[in-house]
């Protein structure tokens, strides 16, 4: 379990993280989403004791990160995959980590195998690794101590589609075994399929927090019927508010299950019923962070 309570970070007059609170529960993958500069890395750095907080606090497994004995055995952290020792091989990097954590050497080979860097790739210098290979090594480092919690900042950066698919499976399995996963991304489609719980941040503030299903339901449901009058009556009777679209459908403030229920009850034929946005989380994200979008400045 990760608990973040009213964390803030101020750099001079600039507030990078503003009173941020959220939780990441065991057995689930929590996606921490936000556009560039939203404050994701700063929040994760504060959580892992690398940047002092200006206010607020956070705990991992019930205690502040700095108070965890042998933290790598409890929390796997990947914050900046490019900041690895370029002169050492991947295997050497992990061996040193394993020694520090008091782990057997066999664990290194096991992890290199898990992240697809076994054999010759593990014996190449990290300076010659691609970004995707660095990410894999970073994930191996995070998993090395068999932790219960993973905190990963943009772990999909540099991974190819097969790599992202692999990482998705790895994190899902980790969560299914009871682990807690917090991962950040600025690319929503990467996280849409992995996370069960979403925390959205824009300009340092949390703008939405909930399960994926909850957040998607807040954008409304599009419903269409060949008998528009019957549908209007049905929605009015149920007390559901709605707006007509240009092409004769309605966007209603209810879930698709609720709309299906009342349409069935009132015997209204429905020919289309789906999340109103059509593009999933991406549109919701743009909607929620619209006030914060850098692009608006130039628009
Ligand atoms: N050491 C620092 N000194 C001054 N400002 C900083 C420092 N570190 C971060 N910031 C500022 O804090 C804000 C949040 O940055 P942060 O790196 O946390 O965002 P992010 O959400 O991780 O972005 P990205 O997706 O681009 O990595 C930015 O405006 C950034 O310029």
**Would the CB of 36 count as within 6 Å of ligand 1?**
yes
Decide: 172 and 29 in contact? Cβ < 8 Å. Answer: yes
Mean pLDDT of the chain: 89
**Token pair in block for residue 161:** 């589609």
Task: Give distance in angstroms: CA of 16 to centre of ligand 1.
Answer: 7
Nearest 5 degrees, angle CA 50-CA 13-CA 299?
100
| 90-149 tens-digit pLDDT | 999 999 999 999 999 899 999 999 999 988 999 999 999 998 999 999 999 999 999 999
Task: Give distance in angstroms: CA of 168 to centre of ligand 1.
Answer: 26
**Would the CB of 89 count as within 6 Å of ligand 1?**
no
Of all protein residues, the one whose alpha carbon is nearest to atom 9 of ligand 1 is 42
Residue 60 has pLDDT above 50, yes or no: yes
- Which stretch of 13-27, 48-62, 219-233, 275-289 has the lowest confidence by average pLDDT? 275-289
What is the pTM for the complete model shown?
A: 0.82
* Mutation test residue for ligand 1: of 8, 9, 31, 41, the one with most atoms within 8 Å of CB: 41
Residue 297 has pLDDT above 50, yes or no: no
Q: Supply the DSSP string of 102-153, one letter for each residue.
A: T--THHHHHHHHHTT--GGGGGSBGGG--HHHHHHHHHHHHHTT--SEEEEE
**Would the CB of 16 count as within 6 Å of ligand 1?**
yes
Q: Domains plus CATH for the chain? A: 2-212 (3.40.50.300), 220-276 (3.30.70)
Residue 80 has pLDDT above 90, yes or no: no
**Would the CB of 82 count as within 6 Å of ligand 1?**
no
ipTM above 0.90, yes or no: yes
């Amino acid at each position: 379990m990760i608990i973040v309570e009213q964390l803030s970070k101020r750099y001079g007059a600039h507030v990078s993280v503003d009173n941020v609170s959220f939780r990441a529960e065991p057995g689930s993958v929590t996606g921490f989403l936000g556009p560039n500069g939203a404050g994701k890395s700063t929040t994760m750095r504060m959580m892992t004791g690398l940047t002092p907080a200006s206010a607020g606090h956070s705990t991992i497994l019930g205690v502040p990160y700095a108070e965890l004995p042998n933290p790598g055995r409890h929390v796997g952290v990947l914050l900046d995959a490019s900041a690895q020792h370029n002169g050492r091989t991947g295997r050497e990097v992990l061996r040193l980590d394993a020694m520090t954590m008091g782990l057997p050497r066999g664990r290194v080979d096991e992890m290199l195998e898990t992240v697809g860097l076994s054999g010759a790739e593990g014996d190449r210098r990290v300076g010659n690794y691609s970004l995707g290979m660095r990410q894999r090594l970073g994930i191996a480092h995070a998993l090395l101590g068999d932790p219960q919690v993973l905190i990963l900042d943009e772990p999909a950066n540099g991974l190819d589609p097969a790599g992202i698919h692999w990482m998705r499976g790895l994190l899902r399995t980790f969560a299914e075994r009871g682990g807690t996963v917090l991962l950040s991304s600025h690319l929503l489609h990467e996280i849409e399929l992995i996370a069960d719980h979403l925390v959205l941040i824009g300009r340092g503030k949390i703008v939405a927090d909930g399960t994926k299903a909850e957040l998607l339901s807040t954008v409304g449901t599009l419903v269409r019927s060949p008998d528009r009058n019957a549908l209007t009556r049905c929605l009015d009777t149920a007390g559901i508010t709605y707006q007509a679209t240009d092409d004769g459908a309605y966007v209603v403030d209810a879930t698709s299950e609720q709309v299906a229920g009342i349409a069935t009850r009132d015997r209204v034929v429905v020919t289309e019923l789906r999340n109103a946005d059509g593009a999933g989380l991406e549109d919701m994200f743009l909607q929620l962070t619209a006030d914060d979008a850098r692009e608006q400045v130039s628009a």
